[in-house]
Chain A
């Protein structure tokens, strides 16, 4: 008896699945590769969650041009070999029309030759300037360039008449790119880097580097890294009684940083996407609507604060949706329409792609925020 019921349920399930598939127009397949596990999982996980959430959302409201979207996500574990395999699979097996990812600059660079050969557009969620400079026909990105964040910090320093600074950067992709940009741009703002320290991604104590910095005439410290390192720097600086202002990068602009750094986070200034201060923005800010909807949506689905890493995936999905909306669901049409994107108010900023610019953002993509009483406060 039980067996018959099972068989009936099973058969009807298959029938429903097939019926669903045959009545609807075939879905538009979009591929995604994210570093969901491994050292860059703090990027990949919110990105994967956000992308899936947005695709479900779009499908719930009728899809794109009456067709549903289908997101195929592969985890690359932060490894270039796996990223290349995944992209090959997306293109040759799954026959996707566009690809999103990867989360890190290294993996994004690794897959570029593959997508260029196959002529499928890719929107990277990594920040490295190398990805879109020089401009590559099939490659776009949504994450803000590190250079823009550096310029925001230096502008603020110039206003504060800070001339001599110390930098402490992490020795991974994010940190080395930041370090390079800090050194490159300092001269333009009349700022001198008098101390240049680094730390390892897994270090748990930065007292040595900070003691060295304390002995110099630096008027401010810039720390460039992603959690948890900068939180240690913040706490150590407090313990050592360092009074000069401490600047951080956008790599720590999530609530998690304030939790980790505790007391030490107070008064720290950092450039960030608008997402963490969405409710403090003036109503006329064009991004406000998108930001609030993203923040609320993410909190509802995943019970945690959405951060701007997930925002990179949000932007990528919406950019592709708009491109298909305007044009056609073929790789070539999507690429052409992406390049024509104008004034797209996303999470990362206002996107304006063109033939010469596949990064699409200006330094307005960043605002400066300060930690006050354990929460973010928009400066100005």
Chain B
């Protein structure tokens, strides 16, 4: 099998599994958790394009997520615009802001870039919090309508699951494609050595701005979906903590791996649910698990899994050889 064919097979299996899951979980709250995993996967993939491929950190990605959610929320509740139109508008708007902002701040490197994106995230958070007339302030904006196509209204977990996951799978497919194109290779070159990349004729600065814009576009789209599935938004969901959580998802899942982002998002979203049995100690155990993962699998969960399967495969092979 060629590499390309194998990847297509993996993606098809992955999609198939995800698309049949709801039939076994129809009435369970896990379906609701899976909807959030979908939204978080989209965000983690977006951030991974920036962090894992281009090697640029962003501690303010929750801001783009929030922009999508608030633009969708405000324009559908206050002006009664068509939700689908607003989703495109919100994504374009966030992308435009990222584009304009990317030029100055992506000249910065390392800690300075982290500081700049952190500052941006906090500014946007304050805007959500303080412009009470528009956003409803700290107590939130409610009454956001559900999305619908003709007669089909996405108002329960089962419908929302397909809405969110079809879009998420689309984003994943595009991202995998992007990462293997000339742009993806250029991004990795910038990641490893910006100077070397520029010597090879890559316009690193413009490339970074481009991927930052794409990342913001996807994040805002995730935000819009979040707003329409929750039908409510409040600023606390888009604060600094969430930005850090997103970075954690990407790192725990595996930098530079799209499936890793899914794993990271899934683990970080469901772990607190499973740890509830430990009651007051859940936060400590949660922290310990993250430390253990990053210590023993520095390449993230996906590399850990690959390593394990390789070991297993080798053992299996050795046994088979012995038998023969």
Contact = CB atoms under 8 A, between A and B. Distances in A.
Interface of A: 37, 39, 74, 78-82, 84-85, 88-89, 91-93, 104-107, 109-110, 112-113, 117, 128, 130, 171-173, 176-177, 180
Contacts of A117: 155-156
A85 B140 contact: no
Interface in B239-295: 272-273, 276, 283
A89 B32 CA distance: 9
B236 A79 contact: yes
B143 to A, nearest CB: 9
A106 B139 contact: yes
A229 B231 CA distance: 32
Contacts of B28: 92-93
Contacts, number: 84
Contacts of B273: 85, 89
A78 B236 contact: yes
Contact of A37 (B157, B237, B283): B283
A177 B27 CA distance: 38
Dominant secondary structure of chain A at its interface with chain B:
helix
Contacts of B272: 82
Contact of B139 (A74, A88, A113, A128): A128
Given A92-B28, A176-B132, A176-B138, A81 B283 contact: no
Given A80-B140, A171-B129, A173-B138, A110 B234 contact: yes
Given A112-B142, A173-B137, A106 B132 contact: no
B215 to A, nearest CB: 21
Contacts of B232: 80, 84, 109-110, 112-113
Contacts of B114: none
Nearest to A131: B139
B79 interface: no
Report, nearest first, the 6 A-B pairs whose CB atoms are least far apart: A173-B138, A92-B29, A106-B234, A105-B139, A106-B140, A88-B32
Contacts of B142: 109-110, 112-113, 130
A262 B152 CA distance: 61
B130 interface: yes
B29 A109 contact: no
A97 B32 CA distance: 20
Interface of B: 27-29, 32-33, 36, 129-130, 132, 137-140, 142, 155-157, 226, 230-234, 236-237, 272-273, 276, 283
A47 B324 CA distance: 68
A128 B130 CA distance: 17
A106 B29 contact: no
Nearest to A35: B236
A128 to B, nearest CB: 5
A92 B27 contact: yes
Contact of B29 (A79, A80, A88, A172): A88
A174 to B, nearest CB: 8
27 contacts: A74-B276, A80-B140, A80-B234, A80-B236, A80-B237, A81-B237, A84-B230, A85-B32, A85-B36, A88-B29, A88-B33, A89-B29, A91-B29, A93-B28, A93-B29, A105-B140, A106-B236, A109-B140, A109-B234, A113-B142, A128-B139, A130-B139, A171-B129, A172-B129, A173-B137, A173-B139, A177-B139
A326 to B, nearest CB: 30
A319 B276 CA distance: 27
A280 to B, nearest CB: 33
B243 to A, nearest CB: 13
A268 B282 CA distance: 41
Contacts of A172: 129, 138
A255 to B, nearest CB: 24
Contacts of A106: 138-140, 234, 236
A93 B142 CA distance: 25
Given A37-B283, A106-B236, A176-B132, A81 B138 contact: no
A81 B225 CA distance: 13
A78 B138 CA distance: 11
A92 B33 CA distance: 12
Contacts of A85: 29, 32-33, 36, 273
A369 to B, nearest CB: 27
Nearest to B32: A88
A216 to B, nearest CB: 23
B34 to A, nearest CB: 11
A176 B142 CA distance: 17
Given A74-B276, A92-B29, A110-B140, A171 B234 contact: no
A172 B232 CA distance: 18
Contacts of B139: 104-106, 109, 128, 130, 173, 176-177
Contacts of B137: 173, 176
Contact of B230 (A37, A89, A110): A110
B70 to A, nearest CB: 13
Contacts of B129: 171-172
Most chain A CB inside 10 Å of its own CB: which residue of B33, B36, B132, B137: B137
